[in-house]
Structure 1
Amino acid sequence: MADTLDRRSDHGHFTSIPWCARHLRGSRIITQSPECRLQKLNGEDSLYSETLKSQTTIMAMLQVYEEPPSPTDRVNSGKAFLTLGPGLAGHAGVCHGGIVVTILDEVMGFLISLNQKRGHTPEVPYMTAYLNTKFFKPVPTCATILAQTKIIKLEGRKFLAEAWIEDSNGIVLARAEALFLAIKSVL
């Protein structure tokens, strides 16, 4: 119930922003609350479901992807809209670089869970093996950003992806490439 209300309010928040609303139109566009925003009994995802879920941190977050032609096809790309609050600042009005990396990492992880549900990646935990990030311009706080991601390669236990953050004008502010590995045994 709370997830449905969060998704509705987050969806409404982003549809009220004209540049975001343009990305949310289309018969095959799927929007949902990211799984990381849902509290879990075992404490998993508490960074996004508790610590970074407030009016001063990540105020709203919505995951978006285009449904492939067949329900069994792989989802190769996705987006996330985030409205960042003042509590994420490293410098006045600028998001802390560590948070920027955290956002990029999480957005790439969306593609793993989406494709696990579709049978394209193993239903085991994945962990980040490396994440290389380039910062081009400051990511603002008290602003809405778009994080986009796409799969570069899937091979065995390896999941290679890239992601980037854009401002409302489509200017790329930061970009990352990451390798995720399926864990052989549960930690």
Structure 2
Amino acid sequence: MARTTTTTATAAATTTTTSLEQANAAAAAAQIAFFRAIPWCAAHLAARPNLVIEQALSRRLGQGPGDTLVSRTLNTPETVGAYVVFYERPRASASSPAAGGAAASNTEQARPPVEEDPALAQPQGQSPSPSPSSSPNQNPTQPQPQNQPPPGLITQVQSLIALGPQLNGWPGICHGGVVATLLDEVMGQIFALNRAHGLLAPPPVMTAYLNTRFERPVRTGPGTGTGTGTGTGTGGGRHAEDGKGEGDGDLDGNGEGEGVVLVTARLVRNEGRKYWVEADVRGREGEVLATGEALFIMLREKL
């Protein structure tokens, strides 16, 4: 009987994992499609070598007790209805950490497939060409400037985020605390993604301070509609760990990108366990709406 029970439990766990992977993959695809239907967002997501587009790691279901603010509370059509990140794929592989890190954990390796143009993939054995935006610290053969991030790390992460009416402070204006949260969230994706690619050591990184400057009102939009049908909340499905929910499988279109912002985070400095990050929030015309600068500290490993 005990053996039968164990087998049943294992099968159930496998089914749940598969359902979560399918739900996360469907949610990612729906959100990418939502932004690609908005011309100015599509321009940022235009195919180019080594571009990775995916749902933020903190957005995925199955996180356990962590990241629930982003994956559940702010994952509804009228809060943050869609949220994707995009960045340049690092040159170092997960098996060769650039900063003394270990390979990605099983949870991080299980994230949904990323969106990448196969036509732009480099031929086998050919080194990828550096992009125009690559900084000198991406080339390990060059001398390393003092206090610059280690070579090989992902040093810039960008995100598109759709802000709904339930984030209002003033009518039609996103609450300032939410804006600060968005800055902190996207900054944190730098560390999450580097760890997922095996480029950063396992100890977690936490925010020591975040200074925010509000330049212009960050406007909210109408929300993203009726549902992805995944239970993620990205389109109105009820939160369901089995990946099932109510919805029609699509996000309502928002052709002008009302309430959509571009958040860019850059890792600019590193001293031991300390990492300095800058970020900004921009509107569809490229206007700066808010900026932030933060210090993150990697916790010490337990002895």
Q: 1:22 aligns with which of 37, 40, 43?
A: 43
TM-score, normalisation: structure 1: 0.94
Supply the RMSD in Å over aligned alpha carbons. 1.5
Q: 1:82 aligns with which of 161, 164, 179?
A: 161
Counterpart contact for 2:187–2:265, Cα < 8 Å: yes
Residue identity matched to 1:80:
S
Structure 2 counterpart of 1:67:
89
TM-score, normalisation: structure 2: 0.59
Structure 2 counterpart of 1:157:
273
Of Structure 1 and Structure 2, which has the larger fraction of its residues in strand? 1
3-state DSSP class of the match of 2:30? helix
Q: Which has the higher contact order (CA 8 A, sep 6+)?
A: 2
Partners of 2:295 and 2:86 lie apart in 1 by: 22
For structure 2, the 5+ residue unaligned runs are 1-21, 99-151, 222-258
Structure 1 counterpart of 2:58:
36
Describe the shift of the 1:135–1:41 C-alpha distance in structure 2 as closer, same or farther (beyond 3 A).
Answer: closer
Structure 1 counterpart of 2:179:
100
Q: Give the deviation of 1:41 after TM superposition.
A: 5.1
Structure 2 counterpart of 1:148:
264
Q: 1:54 aligns with which of 76, 91, 96?
A: 76
Counterpart contact for 1:74–1:118, Cα < 8 Å: no
Describe the shift of the 1:4–1:67 C-alpha distance in structure 2 as closer, same or farther (beyond 3 A).
Answer: same
Q: 1:173 aligns with which of 289, 293, 299?
A: 289
Asked which structure has the greater CA Rg, the reply is 2
* 1:132-147 equivalent positions in 2, closer than 5 A: 132-142=211-221, 143-147=259-263
Deviation per residue, 1:88-133 (Å, 9 max, x gap): 0000000000000000000001111122234443211111100000
Partners of 1:89 and 1:121 lie apart in 2 by: 36
Q: Give the deviation of 1:185 after TM superposition.
A: 5.4
3-state DSSP class of the match of 1:91? coil
Partners of 1:70 and 1:41 lie apart in 2 by: 26
Partners of 2:162 and 2:63 lie apart in 1 by: 26
Between 93-102 and 35-44, report the one with greater CA deviation.
35-44
3-state DSSP class of the match of 2:169? strand
Partners of 2:75 and 2:207 lie apart in 1 by: 22
Q: Give the deviation of 1:70 after TM superposition.
A: 4.9
Counterpart contact for 2:24–2:61, Cα < 8 Å: no
Q: Give the deviation of 1:27 after TM superposition.
A: 2.6
Between 95-104 and 68-77, report the one with greater CA deviation.
68-77
Residue identity matched to 1:183:
L
Structure 2 counterpart of 1:126:
205
Counterpart contact for 1:10–1:61, Cα < 8 Å: yes
Q: Give the deviation of 1:83 after TM superposition.
A: 0.5
3-state DSSP class of the match of 1:95? coil
Structure 1 counterpart of 2:300:
184
Structure 2 counterpart of 1:116:
195
For structure 1, the 5+ residue unaligned runs are none
Partners of 2:91 and 2:301 lie apart in 1 by: 34
Partners of 1:41 and 1:114 lie apart in 2 by: 15
Fraction of identical pairs, as percent = 37
Residue identity matched to 1:16:
A
Structure 2 counterpart of 1:4:
25
